[in-house]
Structure 1
């Protein structure tokens, strides 16, 4: 029997079960005994009957998790498959709206009538669905509470607290996890910065970070008063971290803090600041995972660093997924804490397809365990030892391709989402539709996830798409720095060649969305 119409209410609103009785109904799932090994964890998720939804601008971060978790699906703003992915839902009616953050996109999706109607069809009576996303805020928490959804993430207040680079540094110090030599301070002018650096013995070449934001936009390299004048407006009046500038190898690693301890994922190098990929100096634009990311000695140090940090985060009440940027001083061989990202990250995409993931389960499933109605007793030491052993068994890379030119256009032609390969003439060509990159076999293949499609807008800094491949995308140059491989540059040029658009007469009218690092 259909719900009665209410005067002044959109008919699409009234067919969705969002009344107080529904929102407060507890799950009727039977309490199960504790899971004791990875085999039982696999079985638990393969027979899962509680709907789990990932919300985001795209499904990029956790794409492929639906292979492992029954009743796992994606609610997204952009659909790179144009409706062909069976587990991706995108509302059809999307009126013009500018979004300033990933939180705004997710809150819009959560309250969208089409989305709620779609979810209602998938949720059994009396069951509270689980909701995951990269970014959220207190408004998100309120929406989920009202709709009867379980937001399976640490609180927004705790995440905001831990997101500060200043707080991360202090927590690391307390946990015996050192950062690059630094001083936490506040300065008003060039002389104040010089005095603080000299007192801390940091030298003349400095790296200054403000507490919040993408490191590509809130990290400043300062070696002269001219550098200071260029960036002072973004620094003055804030608590800052002033570091010695070192020759470093940046390494990213994801981990999950569980009740049994911290499970540490594979270590990855980062692609940062490449002008062919991003307009932001120092901006993150991808990752590589390969056997020589770290020597065994450095990997052991970094693993211990991450587990200590996880223990300290536990004292703060944190649990679940987090990402750590580790800095290896290539001159001294010291391993330092870089940044903490208390959330699912962009690196998750390839973390979940590693040899370790297929030997056990994808890393994110340990996060899900923390928030599902199930107890578990796992030997985290054994899991970490096995994952460290398997770190030399796989190669995966990904690139986030942003618009780098100073253009504002409405797109008319874009590449398809799917699997690409090099033909007999060396050209990158579309081979077949695909749901994710799990089936890639060699470095001659690549999976491209389109973000913006025809009629969407592109501008400088906009995310065009993600390319994933089994193979290296960086090579060490003679001066010790990394550079994009010839193959990587060919992939980038080939993808960009498939975009074309119509310039806008009024650039300010371009629809905005947010980038992956800030989403």
Structure 2
């Protein structure tokens, strides 16, 4: 059957036997299939203020609601959620087969799935870990003839044994230090070295050979270039590689909060500038090469590719590949759905389910490259010295209140509407509720919520527009005291 539009997607997924269940830390990230599959539901760890909104379109089992505090849980990921006795009991009551739609898989989760008879929608953990390694990526860039940044991977001991001058002679006065063993993503384990003083500070911080609870064996050092951080989403299918349009990544935004690392992912913006056709074509060319290589390695489905658009030369450098669902989702897919475009989660699901389908590649390419407008901004806790409010801000649609120079809550919603959507934003994917110090909130990068905007939240230069910055500060003040 051809996959051309939303109706085709519903028909294909409607042939699915059993129960499709989205699994995640929060419910918003797994909402897209609810628009396409009857009786779709989500299993999530955290109790968040948006659950009443999300429950309008899908059933949600929330472990924090069922079991209380998550503070005693060993790890906060899909495995700890699915291994819990209350979650397993809930799943036992659903029709077989149980099909679990994951952000990414873990070795221990795969063993649990074998015991329980679950089908996992996600690439094997061993494959994901190999393909996400810095060494594999550096080799891929070389072997596929992609533009590469000067640098390499070195033993962790060389961080202390070699001084700043040694690396500056090879990479330039500014360079990027990354910790390959730290795999959480979003900029964790990344440091921009701009001077010898920066190098000394980072070396001292890492002297004990651990970071974020991970033992360090190697360091990745590459030259630093000024440019724009951009990305795209690709989907590796049996017949080719589907590619989204380019999107600006917002990184290291000057919002409240103390974070030691650099390159911190803060969201995406669509439509603040029009990407040149030749740039989009080059991004697509590189993405197809990368996707085909991943396909030859046995990979299926969605992956994310981060690029640097060099200010000086205009060259597009691939920086890393994330073999999993990406941070652009579900915002990108919700925008696609609003325009009648099949979200990339659909071919992703079909590839793992083995449901026969074909894509009209020309039509798909044209639709995925259509320009979009909007954005989403992630808010983080920042300083641990700041506590959580007992009554956090409500989730839903807000609009600027010109009388108070603030914002007022309008209604529970995930979509914009009314006469002036440009004055609106949506608080979703949070805020956390139920505890004054949620499990995991000691991390400065603990996510408070996501703010959706109907217009690009940054200007052409990448700086937050005044309205978006005001909204972000106001929302954060409603969660953190």
Which TM bucket (shorter chain)?
A: 0.7 to 0.9
Indicate how the Cα distance of structure 1 residues 65 and 316 shifts in structure 2: closer, same or farther if over 3 A, else same: same
Partner of 1:319: 300
Q: Is the 8 A contact 2:374 2:457 kept in 1?
A: no
1:294-309 correspondence to structure 2 within 5 Å? 294-309=275-290
CA shift in 2, pair 1:309/1:358, >3 Å: same
Q: Which residue of 1 aligns with 2:322?
A: 341
Match of 2:450 among 463, 466, 474: 466
Which of 259, 266, 286 is 1:285 aligned to? 266
What residue number does 1:430 align with? 409
Is the 8 Å Cα contact of residues 267 and 293 (structure 1) preserved in structure 2?
no
**Residue of structure 2 in register with 1:14 after alignment:** none
Contact 1:396 1:472 in 2 (8 A): yes
Query: Is 1:492 equivalent to 2:472 in the alignment?
Result: yes
SS of aligned partner of 1:344: coil
Other-structure match for 2:254: 275
| RMSD, aligned CA | 2.7
Q: Does the 8 Å contact 2:2/2:358 carry over to 1? A: yes
Contact 2:104–2:122 (Cα < 8 Å) also in 1: no
Counterpart secondary structure, 1:443:
helix
CA distance in 1, matches of 2:137, 2:119: 27
Question: Deviation string for 1:118-176 (max 9, x for gaps)?
Answer: 333332xxx32211222431111111111111111111111111222232121122222
Instruction: Note if contact 1:351-1:363 (Cα within 8 Å) is conserved in structure 2.
Output: no
Deviations 1:395-451 (A, max 9, x none): 1111111122332535411011211112342421111112x3476882222111123
Q: Partner residue of 1:66?
A: 34
Q: Say if 2:83 is the partner of 1:111.
A: yes
Distance (Å, rounded) in 2 between the aligned partners of 1:410 and 1:36 = 46
Instruction: Show the counterpart of 1:401.
Output: 379
In the alignment, which of 61, 69, 93 is matched to residue 66 of structure 2? 93
Superposed displacement of residue 339, structure 1: 1.2
- 8 Å Cα contact 1:411/1:453 also seen in 2: no
Counterparts of 1:336-375 in structure 2, within 5 Å, are: 336-355=317-336, 358-375=339-356
Could you tell me how far apart the structure 2 residues matched to 1:357 and 1:308 are? 30
> Would the alpha carbon gap of residues 356 and 432 (structure 1) be closer, same or farther in structure 2, given more than 3 Å must change?
closer
Give the unaligned 5+ runs of structure 1. Answer: 1-33, 502-519
Q: Which runs of 5+ in 2 are unaligned?
A: 210-215
Determine the C-alpha separation between the residues in 2 that align with 1:230 and 1:100: 33
1:446 aligns to 2:425 (yes or no): yes
Asked if structure 2 preserves the Cα contact closer than 8 Å seen for 1:216 and 1:284, the reply is yes
Q: Provide the TM-score with structure 2 as the length reference.
A: 0.86
Contact 1:421-1:430 within 8 A present in 2 as well: yes
Instruction: Answer yes or no: is the 8 Å Cα contact 1:190–1:225 preserved in 2.
Output: no
Identify the range of structure 1 (224-233 vs 425-434) with the bigger mean alpha-carbon deviation.
Answer: 224-233
Q: 2 CA distance for matches of 1:500 and 1:278?
A: 11
Q: Which residue of 2 aligns with 1:26?
A: none
**In terms of mean alpha carbon deviation, does 113-122 or 268-277 score higher?**
113-122
Q: Distance in 1 between matches of 2:168 and 2:38?
A: 54
Classify the secondary structure of the residue corresponding to 1:327. Answer: strand
